[in-house]
Structure 1
């Protein structure tokens, strides 16, 4: 024998039925043309190689890097542990500071190692010339300063580097008490 439904159960059933019908009939917020365009971009993944030079002025009137924070023992630490430095450095196509500027490296590094000199790097390569003008690459990783070559992950990007991933190899080209010049070779996959 079938059990009779109470008016309360009937109201709940009708409410759920109406909600399901409304949700099922709703149109998605994104038009199919945008989804199709995005899928086409995914089919065209490529790898790019970039080489440029990073110029940091660490002393004098035209500094491009400045320490903005320090820990309680930073000044007595042999590694500068706890120091945080912000920078806005030119990127050029050659090691000469007068070479054509192709972008800027903007970000920060923090002395994050108590044993040996190692920085946590968080920076954006912002391109201002050529094919990649207006695009950026984001790098986040460890920079072991005394290694001949330092590898840091590329974790994202914008513009032509949307959905980027890859790695950046940094190498000291020249350093003195006023300026540091680093060579960067970047391998990045993007759409």
Structure 2
């Protein structure tokens, strides 16, 4: 008796579920021609301070593979570093801070002579005309190249919305023993 009541209850529940009205939804898309906004080109010039040493570093190692535990270089192959690096107007440590580069970089080369970092960073401005705006870099950075090397700009927000472009990098200062570096950035952004 109990078994048939259970079967009847499940059957009623199944019929009730099938009797409900399905929700219908239509995909919505609207394309508006961009006649009101023209693309702009902005050129930026600043210095990026990546400091791994001292009592308050701006970059800290957050992971290192066990295979490279004995490697004494500041950024051995496979190491992952988190950053909150200041952006300054000039290469001097007392020059005005105009923003920060927050993100991570990964040491992506097995050979010290070809040291390459994979950068995933947001370059945000905290002062001046572009305060509150930022652009993103997702790119390979071959740090031993002596000519200005290039990284890709893949997006932006604020005044740099929908940015794309590139940055030319030149190492201004590098301490090979502790990894501290000052890098000159010349950035070309195309945005709305």
Please report the TM-score for the alignment, with normalisation by the length of structure 2.
0.76
Q: Where does residue 163 of structure 2 map in the other structure?
A: 164
1:97 Cα deviation (Å)?
1.4
Separation (CA, whole Å) in 2 of partners of 1:91 and 1:181? 10
Q: Where does residue 184 of structure 1 map in the other structure?
A: 185
Q: Note the alpha carbon deviations across 1:20-54, whole angstroms, 9 max, x for none.
A: xx97xxxx788x9xx57x6412xx10111000001
Q: Where does residue 80 of structure 1 map in the other structure?
A: 76
In the alignment, is the contact (CA less than 8 A) between 1:172 and 1:182 conserved in 2? Answer: yes
Q: Where does residue 109 of structure 2 map in the other structure?
A: 113
Please report the TM-score for the alignment, with normalisation by the length of structure 1.
0.76
Pick closer, same or farther for the CA change 1:60–1:178 going to 2, 3 Å: farther
Q: Where does residue 129 of structure 1 map in the other structure?
A: 127
In the alignment, is the contact (CA less than 8 A) between 1:60 and 1:178 conserved in 2? Answer: no
* Structure number having the greater helix percentage: 1
Q: Where does residue 152 of structure 1 map in the other structure?
A: 151
Separation (CA, whole Å) in 1 of partners of 2:78 and 2:29? 46
In the alignment, is the contact (CA less than 8 A) between 1:156 and 1:163 conserved in 2? Answer: yes
Give the unaligned 5+ runs of structure 1.
Answer: 1-18
Q: Where does residue 63 of structure 2 map in the other structure?
A: 69
Compare 173-182 and 114-123 and name the one that shifted more: 173-182
SS at match of 2:129: helix
Pick closer, same or farther for the CA change 1:46–1:95 going to 2, 3 Å: same
Separation (CA, whole Å) in 1 of partners of 2:138 and 2:70? 27
1:175 Cα deviation (Å)?
1.9
Separation (CA, whole Å) in 2 of partners of 1:29 and 1:165? 24
Give the unaligned 5+ runs of structure 2.
Answer: 1-23
In the alignment, is the contact (CA less than 8 A) between 1:73 and 1:81 conserved in 2? Answer: no
Runs of 4+, deviation exceeding 6 Å: none
Q: Where does residue 12 of structure 1 map in the other structure?
A: none
Separation (CA, whole Å) in 2 of partners of 1:60 and 1:93? 22
